[in-house]
Structure 1
Amino acid sequence: MDGTTKIIEKPSEEPERESWGKKTEFLLSVVGFAVDLGNVWRFPYICFKNGGGAFLIPYLIMLVFGGLPLFYMELALGQFQRCGCLTVWNRICPLFKGVGMAICIIATFVAIYYNTIIAWAVYFFFSSFRAQPPWLTCNNTWNTPHCTTFRERALSMCFEDRNDTTASTYSNCSANATSDDYASAASTEFFEREVLEMQYSSGLDNVGPVKWTMALCLMTVFLIVYFALWKGIKSSGKAVWVTAILPYVVLIILLIRGSTLPGAYEGIKFFITPKWEMLLTITVWLDAAAQIFFSLGPGFGVLLALSSYNKFNNNCYKDALATSAINCGTSLLAGFAVFTVLGYMAHEQHKSIDEVARADVGLIFVVYPEAIATIDGSSFWAIIFFFMLIMLGLDTTFGGLEAIITGILDEWPWLRKRRELFVICLMFYCFLGGLASTTYGGIYIVQLMDVYAAPISILLVVFLEAIAVGWIYGVKQFSKDIELMIGKPPGLFWQVCWAFISPFFLLTLFVLSVLNTPPPSYGTYVYPVWANIIGWLIVLSPLLSITIYMAYAFLKAKGSFREVRY
C-alpha cells in the first residue's frame, strides 16, 4: 500500500492490438455484460423481500463503497496494462498469476451452464410463434390430469373469497374450477414436462439421455456467440448494438403494457413501499452487498478484457460511473416491469403478490410467461419477452468468453493469427460440457452449477485481486497509473476503498457465503450428499490453481520473497 514497488511506466504500445472502433461500442459491451438475466428476476424479488423502497438505501451504500470502487479498479487496471486476466499478473504481481487462471476456470464453468438457460429462452421463443402460447392451455400431450390454467385458478379463488352478500355472484364462478390439492399450473407443466421433460429423470443419479431439441437450441446459442466473437471486438462491437440496446426497448414496451393491466398499481406500490424496520436486519445489508457485486460483475476478467482495448487516455473514471448508474437504473426499470405484471397476476387470482412472486428462474420461465399469455396479443408479448431474455443472456456470454479468449491470446500471442480456430474450439468445448445440462435431468445440473460454479470462489478471487492491487502493487502506484491515463489521480475516497473498504467488503461476503450457502434445490428434490461434495470440489478447483501456482513460483524463484512477489 505504501507504493514501494518499482515504478512501471506506460506500457509500450502494441501496434497489433486493436482498439474499439467507437467509444459507444465499449460502453455497450460493458453495460451488456453487467445487465443480465439477474437484473430481471433476481433484483426485483430481493428488493421487495428486503423492504421495498427502503432496500435502496443499503443497495446504494454498497454500490458506492463496495461495488463501484472494484468496478473502477478493474476498468483502470485493464486499460493501463492493456492485457487480459493472465498476462496482467506478470506486470503487477507474478506471484498471483494463479488468480488469472482461476478467473478463466470460473468463466468456463459459467459458460458451460449459463448458456443452457439461454437455450431454454430460445426454446420458449420459437414455441411462441403460434396463435396462442402453448403454456396457456391444459389440452396438450405433456399435460397431466392435475393441470390447471391461469383462469381456472383465478375463478377457483372466487369460492374462497366470497361472503354472504356476494355468494350469489360467485356461486357460478366456474364449473371447472379445480379443488385438486395436487394442481399444477399449465405454465409449470410446459416448462418442466415439455421444455425440460424432467418427468423422465429421477434426479442426478438418473439424468437420462440428451434431449436433442434442447441440444439444438444450445448449439444455436453457441453459433451466435461464435460469430459475435470470432473477429474480436470488430465483430462483438457490432453485435452489441443489437444485443445491448434492444432489451431496453422491450423492457420499456413491457412496462407500458404492464402498467395498463388491472392490479398494476398495487404491484408497483408493493415493490417500492418502504419497510423501514427491515434496515435493522443484517441480512438486508448482506443481500444488498451480494446483489451489487454480482450485478456489476468484477472479478470475472470481463472488465479487464474489454477495457484493455480502450485508447490509453480514455476516461475510465467517467465510464465506471456511467455504466454503474445504467446497471442500477436497469434493475429498477426491470423491477417496475416485473411488478406491474405480478400485481396483475395477484389481482386476477385474488392472491397477495408475495404468493405469486418467485426468487428463481421460475419467475421468467413460469410466472411471467403465464401472465403475458392471458393478455390480448399474447404471442407477440411472449415473442418479444423471450427475445429480450436471449439478448440479455448473450451479452453476458459475450463478455465471459471474451475474458477467456483475451486472457489466453495475450499470454500466447502466436494464437492471435489463429483466433477463429481457437474460438471455435473453445465454443465446441463449452458446448460439449453443456450437453449434460440438456438431458432430462439437466435442471438439476444447472441448479448445482448455479450454486457452486462461481458465487463463492469468485469472491475470494476478487479479494486477492484487491489485495494485489491495493497492497502489493500499491495504491500510490496504481493512482499514478490512473493519473498518467486521465490526467488526474483518483481522490482519497477511492484510495481508501481500494486499500481497506473493498477488501473488507469482499472478505466478509466470502466468509458469509461459505458459512451460509444453502444446498441447491429444485422443487421437492433433495440433492444427495455426493452431489454437494462435487459442488464444493467445483468451488475449490479454481482456488487450487492459485495455491499451486504460488507454490510453483516459490520453487522456481532463486531470489527473496520480494523478488518472487514482483
Structure 2
Amino acid sequence: MPLPGVGYAICMIDIYMGMYYNTIIGWAVYYLIASLASINSVLPWTSCDNEWNTPACTQITSPLIGNPNATTPAKEFFERNVLEQHRSNGLDDMGPIKPSLALCVAGVFVLVYFSLWKGVRSAGKVVWVTALAPYVVLLILLARGVTLPGATEGIRYYLTPEWHKLQNSKVWIDAASQIFFSLGPGFGTLLALSSYNKFNNNCYRDALITSSINCLTSFLAGFVIFSVLGYMAHVQNKSIEEVGLEGPGLVFIVYPEAIATMTGSVFWAIIFFLMLITLGLDSTFGGLEAITTALCDEYPRALGRHRELFVAGLLVFIYICALPTTTYGGVYLVDLLNVYGPGLAILFVVFTEAAGVCWVYGVDKFSADVKTMLGHTPGCFWRTCWSYISPVFLLVLFVFSVLAHEEMLVGEYAYPAWSIRVGWLLTGTTVSCIPLYMVYKFLITPGNFVNRIKTIMRPEVTSIPPADTALCAL
C-alpha cells in the first residue's frame, strides 16, 4: 500500500516539534533553576527592583488604571530576563544565541537521550516517573488553588459553558489540536509504543483507558488553572478574561505571578516547574520514540543494529536545528514552528491515516484483524466512526483550519511575509511526504498503469506470528 508516506510525514512532524518543544521545556528548566536559587530569598519575578525591569514595571497588587503600558514583574522576567526578546528585532534580526538558554535546552536533550537510547527498556522506566509525578503535583496544586480567595469564581467560569462559541470553527480546530498534542494520535506515539505489545494484547481496553485518562487529566488540570486564574482576577480586581493568556503566557507569566503572591512561593514554584518539566519530557519522549522506532523498524540493518548511535545522531541534529530558538528572538521562531510545523499538517496527516485504513485498506479487513487479535469483531458504533464520522470530521476540520488561518501576530509583532512563506514551506514538506511516496511507489512498481494502481493499492500480506511472542503495531 502507498501509505508509508504517512509514517514519513509523522516523522517530519516530530522533528519540527522537537525543534521548538524542547526549547519550551528549556524555559521551564531556566525557571526551575531560578526558583532553586531563591530558596533563601524571594522569587526573582516578585518585585520590580531587578536590573532587567523597566520603569513601566508595576506590582500586580498595584492599580494599573491610567497606565496602559504597565507591565508586571513576572511578564518582564519572562520577556526581558529569560528570553531577552527586547534585544531582537524579530525574525529579521534574531540576535545571537543566549548561552544560558542553550545550556538549559542541551540539558533537556541529554535527559531525553538517556531515556531513549535503550528503547522501551529505558523509556519505560523513566515514564513511571514522568507520567505519575505530574498527578501528584497537580493534586497538591489543586489543594492549594481551591483555598485561594477568588478560586470559586474561577472554577465557576471554567464550568460554565458558552454554547455560542461552538459556532466558531477555531474552537473546534483548537480542541482537535489539543487532543492530538495530549493523546498523540498524529505523532506516532501510540503506534510506536503499541508495537511493543504482544499480538493478542487487548488494544480495545487500552484505547478506552488511555483516551479516558487523557480527557480526565485535562479536566483536572482545568480546575488547577482556573482556580489560580480566579485568584489572580481577585487580586488584580479584573475579570478572568482580562487575566487569562493563551500559550506560554499562561504558564510562564500568569501562573508564576500567582505563585509569587502565595505564602511559601519558592516551594510552589519549584514543584510547579518540576511538573512542567516532567510533563514536557513525557511528551517529547513519545514523539522522538516514534521516530526511532519507525526508522529502526524500517531499516533494521542500517539503523536498528546501531540504535544508540542513531538516537544520539538524531538528537544532536535536532538540537542543532533548535539552536536558533535559543536566540534573543527565538520566541518568534517557536511560535512559527508551532503553527506551521505540526499545527496545520497534523490534521491532514491524521485524516489521511484514518482514510487510508478505513477507505483504502477497508473497515472489513481492519475489523477482521481486530477479531484475530481480540477474538471478537468491533461493534457497529466503531465501524461507523471509522468509516464515516472520523475521516469526514477530520477532513472538514483541516479545510476550515486552512481557510480560517490568520496572519500571525505575537503581541504587537507582525510576522514578515517571507516568514509566512517559510512556514507554509514547512507545512508543505510534511504534507508532501504522502503524495511523493505514492508517486515513488507507482514508479518502482512493474506493469502497466492499471496493474500498477491495483498492485500498490493491494495490502501487503504477512503471516500472523504466534500470540505469545509476536509484536503488533496496530
* TM band (smaller chain): over 0.9
Report the equivalent of 1:115: 22
Of 370, 381, 388, the match for 1:482: 370
Query: Pick from 378, 386, 390: which aligns with 1:498?
Result: 386
- 1:149 positional shift: 1.6
* Aligned residues of 1:447 and 1:521 also touching (Cα < 8 A): no
**In the alignment, structure 1 residue 316 sits paired with structure 2 residue 208:** no
Q: Using a 3 Å threshold, how does the CA distance of structure 1 residues 416 and 289 change in structure 2: closer, same or farther? A: closer
Distance 2:288 2:356 in 1: 24
Deviations 1:350-371 (A, max 9, x none): 1111110112210000000011
Q: Equivalent residues in 2 for 1:220-299 (5 A)?
A: 220-279=107-166, 284-299=171-186
Structure 1 pair 459–257 and aligned structure 2 pair: CA distance change class (3 A):
same
Residue type at the aligned position of 1:139: D
Residues in 2 aligned to 1:458 and 1:286: alpha-carbon distance in whole angstroms: 11
1:366 to 250, 253, 256: 253
Q: Deviations over 1:220-277 (max 9, x none)?
A: 0000000000000000000011100000100110010011111111111111123445
Residue number among 410, 413, 420 corresponding to 2:297 in the alignment: 410
SS in 1 for 2:342: coil
1:246 aligned partner, one-letter code:
A
Q: Which amino acid aligns with 1:366?
A: I
Encode CA deviations 1:428-449: one digit per residue, 9 max, x unaligned: 0010010000000000000101
Per-residue CA deviation, residues 394-426 of structure 1 (Å, 9 max, x unaligned), is: 011000000000011001112222111111111
Choose which of 24, 41, 49 in structure 2 pairs with 1:139: 49
2:446 corresponds to which residue?
558
Distance 1:279 1:114, change over 3 A: closer
Which residues of structure 2 form unaligned runs of 5+? 459-474
Moved more, 458-467 or 379-388: 458-467
Q: Within 5 A, what are the aligned runs for 1:419-430?
A: 419-430=307-318
Is the Cα–Cα contact under 8 Å of residues 296 and 327 in structure 1 kept in the other structure?
Answer: yes
State the alpha-carbon separation in 2 of the partners of residues 275 and 405 from structure 1: 42
Q: Provide the rounded CA distance (Å) in 1 between the counterparts of 2:153 and 2:104.
A: 37
Name the count of aligned residue pairs. Answer: 450
**1:123-162 superposed matches below 5 A:** 123-129=30-36, 130=38, 131-152=41-62, 156=63
Unaligned runs of 5+ in 1: 1-92, 161-178
**Matching residue's letter, 1:549:** Y
Call closer, same or farther: CA 1:281–1:219 in 2, change over 3 Å: closer
Task: Give 1:181 shift.
Answer: 3.2
Corresponding position of 2:461: none
RMSD of aligned alpha carbons: 1.4
> 1:122 & 1:399 partners in 2: Cα distance?
20
Percent same amino acid among aligned pairs? 56
Deviation, 1:545, is: 2.1
Aligned in 2, Cα 1:222/1:279: closer, same or farther, shift over 3 Å? closer
| TM-score, structure 1 as length reference | 0.78
Larger mean Cα displacement after TM superposition, 513-522 or 301-310 = 513-522
Structure 2 length as normaliser, TM-score? Answer: 0.92
Task: Tell me if structure 2 keeps the 8 A contact 1:290–1:509.
Answer: no
Give me the whole-angstrom Cα distance separating, in 1, the residues matched to 2:210 and 2:342. 23
Sort the Cα spacing of 1:113 and 1:534 in 2 relative to 1 into closer, same or farther, 3 A: same
Contact 2:180 2:186 survives alignment (8 Å): no
Residue in 1 aligned with 2:468?
none
Match of 2:404 in 1: 516
Does the aligned pair in 2 maintain the 1:451–1:519 contact within 8 Å? Answer: no
- Contact 1:466–1:498 (CA<8 Å) still a contact in 2? yes
- 1:119-156 per-position Cα deviation (integer Å, ceiling 9, x unaligned): 0000001101202110011111111111112222xxx2
Label 1:226 to 1:484 Cα distance change in 2 as closer, same or farther (>3 A). Answer: same
The amino acid across from 2:401 in the alignment is S
